[in-house]
Amino acid sequence: MNLVLIGYRGTGKSTVGKLLAQRLGYRYVGLDDEIVRLAGRTIPEIVEAGGWETFRDLEAEVVRQTAVLDRCVLDTGGGVVLRDENVRHLQRNGVLFLLVSEIGDIVARIESGTSRPSLTGNKSFTVEVEEVLRERQPKYQAAARHVIDTSRLPSAEAVDLIEELFRRAVAPARD
């Protein structure tokens, strides 16, 4: 069984995921890193060459490959929920945790990053985050078993809570 982190970028998936993997003795797998490895190009290069649809196709392939692994913490990209098949693959052998944060915290954490091209064109960064979150929120909510607010919890406390919820979810049922 895998522990799967979903949510918008900047919500702490990588930080929390690495800590969880260490705590659980699981392998940490960053799906974006796997996409870059598979494509042999950075995410901006993938999107520039083939558009977001090409990126989403690569993402779907990586999801298929990693969802069948066991005892992994899977750190997914923010748009993994845009394709229902991705969610189905991840849920088949995983417990999905949605990490959420306040928009101001997300913007502060990621606005200087260059690892992802814009999703909405030439809008302000804050407006882009608001719009994309509004679009994705129902899909995130539908996919996740648990929601963890990383604006309210320091990383260490988020790890403690997720570990506890995960261990309960995978514990053998008692009669």
Instruction: Locate the domains of the chain by residue range.
Output: 2-170
2-11, 75-84, 109-118, 125-134: which has the minimum mean pLDDT? Answer: 109-118
Average pLDDT value over all residues in the chain: 91
Strands (E), 68-136: 72-75, 94-100
Would you state the structure tokens that stand for residue 21, as one six-digit string? Answer: 């993997």
CB 111 within 8 A of CB 20: no
Q: What is the per-residue pLDDT for 161?
A: 98
Mean pLDDT of the region 129-149: 94
Q: Does residue 123 carry a pLDDT above 70?
A: no
Which residues is 5 bridged to in the sheet? 75, 97
Could you tell me the CA-to-CA distances from 98 to 92, 101, 113, 144 in Å, in that order? 16, 10, 22, 6
CATH (one of 3.40.50.300, 3.10.450.50, 3.40.30.10, 3.30.460.80) for 2-170? 3.40.50.300
Tell me the pTM: 0.90
pLDDT in tens, 141-172: 999 999 999 998 999 999 999 999 999 999 87
How far apart are the C-alpha atoms of 84 and 105, rounded to whole Å? 28
Q: What DSSP element (H or E) covers 148? A: strand 146-149
pLDDT in tens, 32-62: 999 999 999 999 999 999 999 999 999 999 9
Q: Does residue 175 carry a pLDDT above 80?
A: no
